Amino acid sequence: MKPAPFDYVKPATLAETLELLARHGDAARVLAGGQSLIATLAMRLSAPALLIDINGLAELAGIVVADGVLRLGALVRHARLGAAPAVARHAPLLARAVPHIAHAAIRNRGTLGGSLAFADPAAELPACALALDGRLVLAGPGGTRRVAARDFFTGLYQTALAPGELVTALEVPLAGDDACCGFDELARRQGDYAMVGLAAQGRRGAGGLAALTLAFFGVGPGPVVAPRAGAALVGGPLDPARMQAAQAALADDLAPSSDLHAGAKTKLHLARVLLGRVVSAMGAESGA
Q: Which of 17, 18, 21, 37 binds ligand FAD (CB under 6 A)?
A: 37
Indicate which single residue of 69, 80, 87, 114 sits in contact with ligand FAD (rule: CB under 6 A).
Answer: 114
- Shortest reach from residue 147's CB to ligand FAD, in Å: 12
Measure the CA–CA gap between 61 and 222, rounded to whole angstroms: 26
Q: Give the β-pairing of 166-173 and 179-186.
A: unpaired
Q: Which is nearer to ligand FAD, 37 or 179 (CB)?
A: 37
**Sites for ligand FAD among residues 222-281 (CB under 6 A):** none
Task: Put residue 67 in one of left, alpha, beta given phi > 0 → left and psi -120 to 50 → alpha.
Answer: left
106 makes contact with ligand FAD (CB under 6 A): yes
Report the C-alpha gap between 19 and 166 in whole angstroms: 11
**Measured from the CB atom, is 111 or 247 closer to ligand FAD?**
111
Task: Tell which one of 17, 41, 81, 115 touches ligand FAD (CB under 6 A).
Answer: 115
95 sits near ligand FAD (criterion: CB under 6 A)? no
- End-to-end CA distance of the chain: give it in Å, rounded: 53
Distance in angstroms (rounded) separating the CA atoms of residues 279 and 187: 19
Position 128 contacts ligand FAD (CB under 6 A): no
Beta bridge partners, 150, equal none
113 interacts with ligand FAD by CB under 6 A: yes
Torsion of CA 249, 254, 257, 261, to 10 degrees: -70
User: Could you list the residues that contact ligand FAD (CB under 6 A)?
Assistant: 29-37, 39, 74, 101-102, 106, 110-111, 113-115, 117-118, 120, 123-125, 161, 166-167, 193
